[in-house]
Structure 1
Amino acid sequence: MKSSRPVKLQGKRVNLCPLDEKDLHIFHKWITDLEVTKTTVSSSKIFTVVDELQWLKDAKSKTKEGTSFTLAILTKQAQLIGISTLRNTEDVNRKAEFGIVIGEKAYWSKGYGREATTLMLDFAFNVLNLHSVSLGVYSYNMRALRAYQAVGFRKTGLLREAHFWGGTYYDIIQMDILAQEFKNSKIKNFILESQKTV
């Protein structure tokens, strides 16, 4: 099935596209699945459908304004499998925070999140001209930690027992990646190839 949405960032197996209100029922499915939400910042919040609609409107508005960028992750068959975000962008310091959730569990541990992360980093460094992208990952989320390290994120710190889940406190591992450390630039390679033909 071909997507009717405009593609903002195109990868080999995923496309990153604008959010759409018709996806609210899918977001609701993810946000009410404890196995999914325990890996996200929303794990300690309870969302109503009204909250989710407001979140979607805010995310679309901030993306349009350029203050943060939240994009849907779609497979090449146009199936929505997740969301990826660059938030708290700072023009002066040229930095942002990254977040991602693969809500469709059938796509976990298959490289889809890694590819979406790479596309967002390419956008951050080679379109937005950011210098640094950071994130926080819960210490029990080893799958995400390995994926972040695979694309070049490095551990920079630890917020000890900063996340409460299931009756236990967990650490939040702080990570970041600098522009010069990012090696998988599709955009930069495209620009270099284009310059050779001119």
Structure 2
Amino acid sequence: MAEKKETDKLEQNQKEKPIPFLLNVVLTGFIGGVLWSGIAYFTYIFHFTTISPNIFFEPWAAGEWKDSWIGILLSIIGYGIVSIGAALIYYGLFRKLRSMWVGAAYGIGLFLIVILLLNPLFKSMKSLTELDINTLITCVCIYLLYGVFIGFSISYEEEERMNQEQQQGKDVSQN
């Protein structure tokens, strides 16, 4: 009996404490925002889109700094922070729906919100009908993939959490 207690205390026999689910959603949102806005920046550099990532600061920041590397970096981090909100909304509404298509539709919905509703905030961004086809296709694809990333990550984690709870319930009932 004493040997069992000692082996339970060993580091290799300790189970990792899982990250709280809400913290995981926040991390997923931030990483998704940084990742996909970084990819969007590369599409801007290679002229697949005419929408610059530093458009993020357009409504409230003045100065030339936002066109420099620091402005781009801060814009990407800003998208990560805003993306936390988008991930929390997905968590609240759709986390139990484990389908790639739900995430894709969420991404398209976000694209439409940004292009149609938030467009007046960004003076340098053209309206939906004025965007060239390359910009339109690139932006739709980035938002779609962002939605799939957020949606599938959150839904997968929700399903894993539910499976662990069910497994723990079975283990308790068997003892």
Normalization by structure 1: what TM-score? 0.29
- Normalized per residue, the structure richer in helix is 2
Normalization by structure 2: what TM-score? 0.32
- Which structure has the larger Rg? 2
- Normalized per residue, the structure richer in strand is 1
Which structure ranks higher in relative contact order (CA pairs < 8 Å, sequence separation ≥ 6)? 2
